[in-house]
Structures are given as structure tokens and as C-alpha cells.
Amino acid sequence: MTISDHLQELHGLPVFDFPEAGVETELPPASTVAWRVEVDEYARGEQEEWTSAFARFVASVDTSEVRALIVGMWLEPYENGPEPVVEALTAAAERFPALRALFIGDITYEQCEISWITQGDVTPLLDAYPRLLEFGVRGGQSLVFPAVRHDRLRSLTVESGGLDQEVVRGIAASELPALERLDLWLGDSGYGATAGVSDLEPLLGGGRLPRLRHLALRNSDMQDRIAVALAGAPVVARLESLDLSMGTLGDEGAEALLGGQPLTHLKKLDLHHHFIGAPMRKRLATALEAAGAEVDLSGEQGDDADGRGHRYVAVAE
């Protein structure tokens, strides 16, 4: 996945863009779509604040039936964080009793590069929406995620070009007993990634997230080291899918996966965008596909893919 396009669905619902001010559009039933509310920073007329667009949305849609909500572009996200967005959503929580999925920062690279998206503390939204099942956020700059407890959340996604160590530690220390899917884009050290493998240990141990079935630790410039750690990690035994894609995985990491605990119970191993040589790709495919597992080894980059012999993650700047 890249960030060249907006989300097309959330919570199994197709995305519908709430119209900008002054545009008359027939609105679908509130429960049938995932609503995206964003503003156009490049509008020819007067620019609308995101909170104003949200106020129009609340006044126009039966929010008691809204099941999925996406926060798109707010004004100048390369300079301004989403604090007003978080405050508005938190204040309106009682008006969204059916909300089950929320994504903050559905912003494409043409609108703002992922490493430029300014975030903040998004965890008040988890406190405000205790019935939430899916939560996602894009952008790691200034992102704050202290340890939280949420009893119903099933899916957590954090997309970044570089994730700060304290964010990873906060997620790893969180109490999320219902979480089934965790997707972390750890990123590149040149774009703010400061976490090490040791920061992931509470997740790898398996006890922190008892219902976890789908784990993605991807888009990382330490993908080989993550693979080595996962080769003996207790969490792997109960996973249905493992995703180490979009990063710098090479033969060292692939060898660790093959030589570690069995992976033949997995339904899918996603390694797309990688630096694994052809012989090792063949060994991986043979070992797992013979057991019925799907292995995605597409997007081989080659060690000289950037012309300098350097490996790189799929999404950084």
C-alpha cells in the first residue's frame, strides 16, 4: 500500500466525501458509507476550517447512524496539528453512538508528504469512543500515543514514514484485550524513526495482546532485525497473518524466518517490497506454499535499486 490515493473503504463500507461548502449533493443514508470530512487547502475562495466542515456535517447527517468516519485534510497539516479536530470529535462523541471506525489523517502525498503531517495526542478519541472497533492514524511527526486501555478495539493502524520510540512504547504498553489486528509502519531513521527491536518486545512476547491474529511490523529500515526477533517470538504461534512488507528485508531476515519457529500455520506471509535474492525467495515460497500459506514476494527491489547499493523503505518522506 502507498498513500497516493485516499482510503476507498473503512469498516467494510465504501467511502463517501461529504461535500464542500456551497455544493449541493444528495447524501446517502448515514449508515451505508464511511464518511470522509476534509477541507480543500487550495480552494479558490475562502478556506474553510475543518471544524466548520464538521459542524456542517453534524447538521446535515443523522450522526446517530454513522458507523465509520474519516478525517481527511485539515488546513496546513505540515504546520498545524489536529488538536481542534480531536477536540471537536471528542465533544461530539454522544452524537455518534453507532461509530465503530475512525481514521485520522487520510491525506495523500500530493496534499502533504507523510513525514510532514503534523499529529498530536490522538488517544483522547479512544477514551471518548469506548465502542470503537477500528482506529487508524497517518503521520508520525509530533504523534503522541501514551499507554491506554480500550476494551473493544479490534484493529489499530499507525502509518508513518518514521515512528518515534515513545509512540511504539506507548502502544506496546497499552491494554487492548480485544485487539485482533495491529499494523505499524515503523519507517526510516532519516525521517524520525527512533524505535528499536527492544521497544517491540512487549508485543512479541504475546501476553500483552491475547487476541492478536494479524501483525504487521512493516515499512521499516530495520526489517531484518525484526525478522530475527520474530523467528523466536511467542506471538507468532497464534497469528493467522504476518506482514513484514514495505521495508528493507533481505536474505538475513528471510533466513531467520526459515530457520526459526514454524510458519506453516500462517494463512499469509506478506513480504512485498523487499531485497531478498532469488534463491532465498524460492526457498521461502516452497516452504510455505507447500503448507497452503499465501506468500507475497512481489516487488523485489534488488540491492542496487536506488543506484547506490542502499536499501530503502516504501514510504518515508
φ/ψ (deg, to 5) at 84: -60, -35
- The three three-digit cell numbers of residue 158, written as one number: 499507525
pLDDT band at residue 298, thresholds of 50, 70 and 90? very high
CB 45: neighbour CB atoms within 10 A? 9
Structure-block grid coordinates of residue 245: 512488507
Give burial (CB, 10 Å; 0-12/13-18/19+) of 110: exposed
Q: How far apart are CA 85 and CA 314, in angstroms?
A: 29
pLDDT at 308 > cutoff 60:
no
Average pLDDT of the chain is 94
Q: What is the DSSP string of 208-265?
A: S-TT--EEEEEEETTHHHHHHHHTT-GGGGG-SEEE--SS--BHHHHHHHHHSS--TT
**The pLDDT of residue 309:** 62
Residue 307 has pLDDT above 50, yes or no: no
pLDDT in tens, 226-284: 999 999 999 999 999 999 999 999 999 999 999 999 999 999 999 999 999 999 999 99
**pLDDT greater at residue 4 or residue 257:** 257
Interval 188-232: pLDDT, tens: 999 999 999 999 999 999 898 999 999 999 999 999 999 999 999
Bridge pairing between strands 9-10 and 13-17: antiparallel
Half-sphere exposure of 63 (CA within 13 A, CB side): 16
Residue 285: which residues within 8 A CB-CB, separation 6 or more? Answer: 295, 297
Q: Residue 81 pLDDT > 90, yes or no?
A: yes
Q: Per-residue pLDDT for 41 more than 90?
A: no
Residue 64: closest CA among 155, 120, 131: 131
Of all residues in the chain, the percent with pLDDT exceeding 90 is 88
Task: Report the b/e string of 178-212 with b at 16+ CB within 10 A.
Answer: ebbbbbbbbbbeebbbebebebbebbbebebbeeb
Please give the Cα distance from 265 to 116 (Å, whole number): 39
* Residue with cell string 527491489: 301
Kindly indicate the confidence band of residue 303, based on its pLDDT and cuts at 50, 70 and 90. low
Residue 21 has pLDDT above 50, yes or no: yes
Contact status, residue 218 vs residue 188, Cβ threshold 8 Å: no
Residues 290-310: b if buried by 16+ CB within 10 A, e if exposed: eeebebebeeebeeeeeeeee
Other Cβ atoms less than 10 A from the Cβ of 123: the count is: 19
> What pLDDT score does 42 carry?
74
pLDDT at position 305 over 70: no
pLDDT at 2: 61
Distance between CA 131 and CA 99 in Å, rounded? 7
Residue pair 121/86 in contact by the 8 Å Cβ criterion = yes
Helix (H) or strand (E) holding 69: strand 68-71
pLDDT tens-digit profile of 137-179? 999 999 999 999 999 999 999 999 999 999 999 999 999 999 9
Percentage of the chain with pLDDT > 70? 96
Alpha-carbon separation of residue 41 from 23, 140, 156, 203 (angstroms): 16, 21, 28, 39
Compare 69 and 304 and report the one with higher pLDDT: 69
Phi and psi angles of residue 105, each rounded to the nearest 5 degrees, phi first: 100, 40
Distance CA 246, CA 228 (A): 17
pTM given for the model: 0.96
Q: Which amino acid is at 279?
A: P
